Structures are given as structure tokens and as C-alpha cells.
Amino acid sequence: MKKKLIIFDMDGTIYLGANLFPGAKETFRYLKDHNIDYVFFTNNSSHDLEFYYQKMTNFGIECDLKKNFYSSSEVTISYLLDRGVKDIYLIGNKSLKKKFEKHFNLVNEYQKERKIDAVVTGFSTELVYKELQDACLYLETLDVPFIATNGDYRCPIEDGLYIPDNGGMCEWMRLVTGKKATVMGKPNPEIVYYLAKEFNVSLDEVLVVGDRLYTDILVGINAHVDTLCVLSGESSLEDIKAYEHKPTYILDSIKSLPDLLK
């Protein structure tokens, strides 16, 4: 299998919480030695890219902040800027709001007479009920786009447990307002097209690697590139058998990726 660019999910694929999976460091050394580019793409918008860069370097994985890291936050910002959006109501952690306020005017609360251009939601571990309330009121009273950085329903943590993610929050808002969010991160294939162009490779030379079927694997399928599902995170063999879309390859972990590439 000849690949020139590999797009990796992180949590559940390379590490779980604070624990790096065995063999991960050796896998990235192999990719470096064989001139195979790799990028880390996360749907998780609760942290900025510097957080992931620091985490990877602490694990001993060679990487560059500007070259190797992309997230659903950057994709969302680019999408909104392309459409001339200026005023938004945003749900997200302080780090996400800090990133967005460089480009947009953030409206702090619902005001009946206040006009906005979009409602945007990101994975927030600092969520308060009033944010959901105000976002729903804007969606109910204004005909504005409802944009989500990601559609993940749950986020994996240590000990095989999960916490609620942005997709669940958006579903709650859909049930209240009747409006469904447009998801910018995985499984939207635009990020794959963008990265293939950035690294000057064809889609045949791209591999998407992850542990989650409805985001990591589906984004690759939607972009018509090869996919690898690892069993180190959310998905099991039973899940894969039951899922409508099958990954191109299945491995227990990325430890075996060099053998697959050979």
C-alpha cells in the first residue's frame, strides 16, 4: 500500500487520555524515516492546537505545530469567513471563544432585538444551561445558519468511559428548535480535500486512520479515500460488522501500521 499522507485521529487512536498506546512512537518514527507525511486532525474543539502539540511532543512524537495539526475549529472559521459571517452566538470553552473573537463579533446573550449571522456550537466542558437557552432562542426567532464544529456524541476518556460531546448537545437543540446543525468537522469530507491539496497528493495517496466509525472512518469514505479503523478506542469488531460503511483496513492498533504500509 503506497501512501504519501496519513490523516490521524488522536484520542482513542494514538493515545487514550494521558496514556500513549504501545508502539505509537515507533510508528511515527517509521513514517518519518520513510518520508510519509502525517497530520493530526481532531474534532475536539474544547482545546486549541497548542494543547495537542504540547501533548504529542511530551509523548516524544516528532511534529510541527503549523504543519501537522488541524481541527474542526479551523475548518469552521474558514467556512464562516467564506460566507461573510460577522456576528455569531457561540457555545464553547474559553479557548474556542478566544480563537473565534479574532475573526468575529461574539454576542454574549440573547436579546430580542439583536440580529446575528449564525449560531455556532463547539464541544464545551464549561457549558452552562443559559448558553443552550440563548442559542435555542436565536434559532427559534431568526432564520440563521446553525453550525457545529463537530457532531461527536461522546468523547472517550480513561478506563473505557465517555463524557457527552457536541453532537449530543446539538441533538438536544434540534429537538427544541426543529433545526439540524451543519457539521464542519469529520465526517465532512472537505478537510480531506483541503489537506490533499495542501500536501500536493492525490486522494489515492491518502489514508485516514481513526477509531470512530461515524466520524473518522466515514470522513474517509465520504472523500473516497482508504480508511483504517483501529480497535484501540471506541469501535469494536462487532460495531464494524453492524455498521453500514466498512473501513478499508482493520488493525488492533497503530502499532501494526508500518507492517500494513510495507
Task: Read off the pLDDT of residues 41-55 as tens digits, 9 standing for 90 and up.
Answer: 988 888 889 999 999
Give residue 221's pLDDT: 98
Q: How confident is the model at residue 58 (pLDDT cuts 50, 70, 90)?
A: very high
Query: Of all residues in the chain, what percent carry a pLDDT higher than 70?
Result: 100
Cα–Cα distance for residue pair 86/80, rounded to 1 Å: 8
CB 165 within 8 A of CB 123: yes
pLDDT tens by residue, 150-164: 988 888 777 878 899
pLDDT of residue 162: 87
Confidence band of 1 (pLDDT split at 50, 70, 90): confident
Q: What is the pLDDT of residue 113?
A: 92
Q: What percent of the chain is predicted at pLDDT more than 90?
A: 83
Provide the mean pLDDT of the chain. 94
Helix H, strand E, coil C: the string for the chain is CCCCEEEECCECCCEECCEECCCHHHHHHHHHHCCCEEEEEECCCCCCHHHHHHHHHHHCCCCCHHHHEEEHHHHHHHHHHHCCCCEEEEECCHHHHHHHCCCCEECCCCCCCCCCCEEEECCCCCCCHHHHHHHHHHHHHCCCCEEECCCCCEEECHHHCEEECHHHHHHHHHHHHCCCCEECCCCCCHHHHHHHHHCCCCHHHEEEEECCHHHHHHHHHHCCCEEEEECCCCCCHHHHHHCCCCCCEEECCHHHHHHHHC
Residue 78: per-residue pLDDT: 86
For the segment 191-244, what is each residue's pLDDT rounded down to a tens digit?
A: 899 899 889 999 999 999 999 999 999 999 999 999 999 999 989 999 999 999
Give the cell for residue 173: 437543540
Domains along the chain with CATH numbers: 5-43+186-261 (3.40.50.1000), 73-183 (3.40.50.1000)
Q: Are 209 and 7 in contact (CB under 8 A)?
A: yes
Query: Which pLDDT value is given to residue 46?
Result: 83
The reported pLDDT for the residue numbered 43 is 84
